[in-house]
């Protein structure tokens, strides 16, 4: 291929970048590639087979820029954070004013907002989900930025994305960091979905005393019903897998400390800033943090005895129904959070479109997302849990969720995400809660005032007159 002919460039041939570059080439677009370590570029193209004909390996940023047809578009697939800023700083001086940089890594959306604001040329922040397999054969793609910039690469994004029927799972969801924001919430939901499945796995393993193959069978059966999803499917595969080194069941050989790269934590932190409750997602982040405290957990077990007891009062149908209810509540929280962020940022993210984007390619893909898209479409602005279809599902299944949480608690099985989902459900159907006491307490110790049922604001309790100098009281 001659200089200046590649349709797009890509920097960073790691797990995701290599898969994405191959996907782009496979869909018929010429792609110029560059990697910090030159040997990686050489090996990647040497191993690319027929696809190499549509790849231009380059060994300097100057050569990369020269290989792309102007106005250029260049994807960054390097680790989020400082590497992205460094890469932009190195690249921008080599580019023309209208050349487009597209960050496809897992950037914090606030950083993408900043990069858009600081950018001296076109910039898009694009969330890509689906892991290596998705990037290679069709990820879900959540774009953020200027529609005119998106339009320049839309054909490539739609071509490489996963498809649900004929519909590509790729779209510009909003301006600035909106794409990375939606990807972040996707990951937050992913944390909660995974955690709820892991909690039920714990009940099957320790409570029912089931073997790994039998647990794999249960998940496989659930993958044929309402829970049908990638995460249930791979849970079955993981439960059935054998360890390469020992031949033992793989799950018996993996240390039970969950890793994380921060996107779940960002979701939890952001929800606190927005004051939007996402307790199931927060609980899942906390559960990963607790899982990493192995030594402390072992000391606790030695002191108090192991928590999970054997019990068999929950049948598989009840556990499946509990997961259905838990899943709805966790997704409902995620969608409400997206709506709240739109209000705070002046964005207009189309919730049904987000649900449609997540139907294929990404880690949380599931048949339920199809119904979620339809429900959000038919009932704009409504919390998913109150849309008729999902309200009915909750009515049918919240009893099972309650039983699982209660029985699990009675028998020492921690179910933080399922419990938090249930508490959210109950709180969100309690018209008169308990916060009057909190308001009374706040007024008592800090004269913060409260709203009276008669409609008057800044009312005080009888202690107000007796407190001579409220302004000097410590306010905590």
Rounded to the nearest 10°, the torsion over CA 158, 159, 164, 165 is 120
**Residue 35 marked in a binding site:** yes
**67 by DSSP, 3-state: which?**
helix
**Residue 134 marked in a binding site:** no
By CB under 6 A, residue 88 contacts ligand NDP: no
Applying CB under 6 A, the span of 78-86, 113-121, 251-259, 446-454 interacting with ligand NDP comes to 78-86
Q: State the Cα angle at 195 between 135 and 397, rounded to 5°.
A: 110
Count of residues binding ligand NDP (CB under 6 A)?
24
Choosing from 4, 71, 121, 131, the residue that interacts with ligand NDP (CB under 6 A) is 131
By CB under 6 A, residue 105 contacts ligand NDP: yes
Active-site annotation holds for 183: yes
Q: Are strands 123-129 and 140-144 parallel, antiparallel or unpaired?
A: antiparallel
Applying CB under 6 A, the span of 11-19, 161-169, 196-204, 421-429 interacting with ligand NDP comes to 11-19
Give the C-alpha separation, 365 to 354, whole Å: 12
Whether the Cβ atoms of residue 337 and residue 274 lie closer than 8 Å to each other = yes
How many Cβ atoms from other residues are within 10 Å of residue 13's Cβ? 25
**Residue 228 marked in a binding site:** no
Query: Which candidate in 30, 111, 176, 190 is catalytic?
Result: 190
Q: Measured at CB, which residue is nearest to ligand NDP?
A: 14
Whether the Cβ atoms of residue 355 and residue 369 lie closer than 8 Å to each other = yes
Whether the Cβ atoms of residue 69 and residue 5 lie closer than 8 Å to each other = yes
Active-site annotation holds for 30: no
Choosing from 1, 5, 15, 70, the residue that interacts with ligand NDP (CB under 6 A) is 15
By CB under 6 A, residue 286 contacts ligand NDP: no
Tokens of 365: 């893909």
| Comparison of 12 and 226: residue with beta carbon closer to ligand NDP | 12
**450 by DSSP, 3-state: which?**
strand
Applying CB under 6 A, the span of 82-90, 285-293, 347-355, 372-380 interacting with ligand NDP comes to 82-90
Applying CB under 6 A, the span of 77-85, 205-213, 337-345, 375-383 interacting with ligand NDP comes to 77-85
Give the C-alpha separation, 384 to 391, whole Å: 8
| Per-residue mark of binding to ligand NDP, 34-73 (x: CB under 6 A) | -xxx--x---------------------------------
Rounded to the nearest whole angstrom, what is the least distance from the CB of residue 93 to ligand NDP in the complex?
16
Write the CA distances from 287 to 29, 103, 174, 349, 390, integer angstroms. 43, 30, 32, 30, 27
Give the C-alpha separation, 289 to 291, whole Å: 5
Rounded to the nearest whole angstrom, what is the least distance from the CB of residue 86 to ligand NDP in the complex?
6
Known catalytic residues?
Answer: 183, 190
Binding site for ligand NDP (CB under 6 A): 12-17, 35-37, 40, 77-80, 83, 86-87, 105-106, 128-129, 131-132, 261
């Amino acid at each position: 291929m001659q200089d200046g002919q590649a349709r797009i460039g890509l920097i960073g041939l790691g797990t995701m970048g290599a898969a994405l570059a191959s996907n782009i080439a496979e869909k018929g677009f010429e792609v110029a590639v560059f990697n910090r370590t030159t040997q990686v570029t050489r090996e990647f193209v040497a191993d690319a087979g027929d696809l190499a004909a549509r790849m231009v390996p380059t060994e300097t940023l100057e050569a990369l820029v020269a290989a792309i047809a102007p106005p250029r578009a260049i994807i960054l697939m390097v680790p989020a954070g400082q590497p992205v800023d460094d890469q932009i700083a190195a690249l921008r001086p080599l580019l023309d004013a209208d050349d487009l940089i597209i960050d496809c890594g897992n950037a914090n959306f606030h950083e993408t907002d900043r990069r858009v604001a600081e950018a001296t040329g076109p910039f898009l922040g694009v969330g890509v989900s689906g892991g290596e397999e998705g990037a290679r054969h069709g990820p879900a793609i959540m774009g953020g930025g200027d529609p005119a910039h998106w339009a320049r690469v839309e054909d490539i994004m739609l071509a490489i994305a996963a498809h649900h029927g004929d519909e590509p799972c790729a779209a510009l969801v909003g301006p600035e960091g909106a794409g990375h924001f939606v990807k972040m919430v996707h990951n937050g939901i992913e944390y909660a979905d995974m955690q709820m499945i892991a909690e039920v796995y714990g009940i099957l393993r320790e409570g029912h005393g089931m073997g790994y193959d039998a647990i794999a069978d249960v998940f496989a059966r659930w993958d044929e019903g309402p829970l049908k999803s990638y995460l249930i499917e791979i849970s079955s595969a993981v439960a059935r897998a054998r360890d390469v080194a020992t031949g033992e069941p793989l799950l018996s050989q993996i240390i039970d400390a969950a890793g994380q790269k921060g996107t779940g934590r960002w979701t939890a932190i952001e929800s606190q800033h927005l004051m939007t409750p996402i307790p199931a997602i927060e609980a899942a982040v906390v559960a990963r943090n607790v899982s990493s405290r192995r030594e402390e957990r072992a000391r606790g077990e030695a002191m108090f005895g192991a928590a999970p007891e054997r019990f068999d009062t929950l049948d598989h149908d009840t556990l499946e129904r509990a997961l259905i209810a838990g899943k709805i509540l966790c997704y409902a929280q995620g969608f409400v959070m997206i709506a709240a962020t739109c209000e705070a940022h002046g964005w207009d993210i189309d919730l049904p479109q987000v649900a449609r984007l997540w139907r294929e390619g990404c880690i949380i893909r599931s048949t339920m997302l199809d119904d979620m898209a339809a429900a959000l479409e038919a009932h704009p602005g409504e919390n998913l849990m109150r849309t008729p279809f999902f309200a009915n599902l909750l009515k049918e299944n919240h009893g099972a969720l309650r039983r699982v949480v209660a029985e699990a608690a009675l028998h020492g099985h921690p179910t933080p995400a399922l419990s938090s989902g249930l508490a959210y459900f109950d709180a969100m159907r309690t018209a008169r809660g308990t916060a009057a006491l909190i308001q009374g307490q706040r007024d008592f110790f800090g004269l913060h005032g409260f709203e009276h049922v008669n409609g008057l604001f800044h009312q005080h309790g009888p202690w107000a007159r007796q407190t001579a100098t409220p302004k000097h009281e410590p306010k905590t």
